[in-house]
Structures are given as structure tokens and as C-alpha cells.
Amino acid sequence: MKSLDLKCRAKINLSIDVLGKREDNYHLVEMIMQTIDLYDNVNIEEIESGIIIESNNEHVPTDSSNIAYKAADLIKREFSIDKGLKITINKNIPVAAGLAGGSTNAAAVLVGLNKLWGLNLTQEQLMKLGLRLGADVPFCILGGAAIAKGIGEELTRIKDLGNVKILICKPDILVSTKWVYQNLNINKVAKRPNIKNILNNLQENDVQALACNMVNVLESVTENKYTQIKEIKKKMIEHNALGSMMSGSGPTVFGIFNNLDCAQKAKEELQQVYKQTYLVNTYKGGIEIEG
């Protein structure tokens, strides 16, 4: 039977603004996303029939609610393929963390099956399929850095952050994205990101200015309920992070560092309290097919 191994990477948000809400209750956003080199390994193996999901992480669903399962089912239905699949997800990206861990698994399945079954779909076609699964899936296929508008589906590739050290720390709590958006009062947002300034910072390679300009309007909701987020941000700044912010709807916090020693010390201290702490680089690409 044919099989394929893939690496699928997490993302962080360098800014998130929520501009309004559509009639279908989807929120209109404007955000900047950046891929980081924290990845899951996904193996796709062709079997006789059905879709089987296996994972090393007990929090990953192994039934049809898994977005990677939905990606496989979508491809099978769209192209009338009767072969089955076994998908093994070796998780390194924290679950329910604001890092697009599920979305990047789905993106890996779409990219992998395009290769495995010789579908010859373009990246744009894969991204359109991905949007039917979730708003973050197209970006996970694209990779690098992009500005996202609409409900997150209108992507424009931009200059990435460059080779920068990113410290990731996820407290041991689970945050519902739906709950965060439901509790966000758009009219009471005190500070919004200046997207134009951030894009200029990226263009000029001014990481320090960018770190100072980062704003996530969802922080106001999640921080109020989970004080750990503020504590982690404070600890990163104490260790000379250029800036620190919550990614997505949380609860993961990241810090941008230009000094490796400071980043290592921050990692060591935070890891004593929060097991899921990782020091990684930014990443320029999307899904990687191994071998």
C-alpha cells in the first residue's frame, strides 16, 4: 500500500483585529499570521476502505469530528475515490492552543492526498478546498507570512518575519475559540493593531518595532479569565523578549527574542511551571512532504 510522511507546522498571529460580524455570525477579522517551525508529523497510508485516525495525543479525536478525517473524507467524495486511509498524527503542537494545530493536520492531509493520488491540484485549488474545512486551513497550506481578511480566508502573502527566535508557552488550560468570540465586545476594544505599521516593520526588517506594535484584541477576553496569560507575558518581557502576546484566541503565549541566551533562560524558567514550552524559529514554507 502507498504511504506518505509530512511535516505540518503551527502558526502564530502577529496581530488580530475583529472588525465586525456577518449575518451568519462569523466574525470579520484582519490579522497577520506567521508560520513557526513547531510541527506535527503526519503519516498517510492507503488501506482498503474507511478512514482510520490514530494519534499519540489522547486529546486528539479519532472519529469523524477530527478535521484531518474531514479533509480525507472531502477529497474522497470530491474525486470519487473508494480507497481507504489510515492517518497517524504524531502531535508536537499543543492542542486547543491558538496555534492552528488541527488546521495544519487537515492541510497536511489535503496536500498529501494530492500527491499520493496524483490529483494535480494547484496550491490555490487546495486552499479553496481547505476553506470548506476551516478558516485557518488555507493559510497552513500557503505558509510563510500573510495578512488575512474577511473571516480569515482572504489571504495575501507578505514578507515574513525572517529567521527569528520564538518562545512558545501554553498553560495547561483549554480555551474555546467560540467562547472568546462570544464574549468579545467589539465596541469596547481599547486598543487595536495598526496593520500598516506592522507591514512596514516587516518590510524594513525592524523586528523590535514590530514586537512593540503587536496587538491581539482577543487578549482582553481570555486574559480576564486566565491570569496565567498575563503572568507568562510578564515573565518573557522580564527575560528581555522584544514583545510578547497571546496567539489566536489563546491560551498560548509567544515571545519574540533577538538574544538566544535570554530566550533559553526564559524557556528554562517557564518550563518548570508549564511543560508545553518550546523555543523555535520562524518558518518560510507550508506543508512539507518528506522523502
Of 7, 40, 91, 136, the active-site residue reads: 136
**Residue 26: predicted pLDDT:** 81
Active site residue 11: yes
Per the structure block, which three cell numbers stand in for 134? 476551516
Of 7, 11, 70, 267, the active-site residue reads: 11
In angstroms, the CA 141 to CA 35 distance is 10
Contacts of 7 (CB under 8 A, 6+ apart): 39, 40, 41, 42, 108, 287, 288, 290
Domain end position, chosen among 109, 140, 158: 158
Per the structure, the complete domain to which residue 107 belongs is given by: 3-158
**Residue 187: predicted pLDDT:** 86
Report how far apart the first and last C-alpha atoms of the chain are (Å, whole number).
16
Closest alpha carbon to 258 in 276, 240, 272: 240
Give yes or no: residues 98 and 186 share one domain. no
Give yes or no: residues 153 and 55 share one domain. yes
* Contact present, 9 and 251 (Cβ < 8 Å): no
Active site residue 136: yes
Beta bridge partners of 46: 85
* CA distances in angstroms from 125 to 130, 131, 256, 265, 287, listed in the order given: 9, 10, 33, 44, 15
pLDDT digits (tens, 9 = 90+) for 2-23: 999 999 999 999 999 999 888 8
What residues in the chain have per-residue pLDDT under 50? none
The helix (H) or strand (E) run that includes residue 86 is: strand 84-90
Domain end position, chosen among 134, 158, 182: 158
pLDDT digits (tens, 9 = 90+) for 193-213: 999 999 999 999 999 999 999
CA angle at residue 54 from 48 to 59, to 5 degrees?
Answer: 150
**Residue 9: predicted pLDDT:** 98
**Residue 186: predicted pLDDT:** 87
Domain end position, chosen among 142, 158, 174: 158
Give yes or no: residues 260 and 206 share one domain. yes
Q: How many residues are listed for the chain in this entry?
A: 291
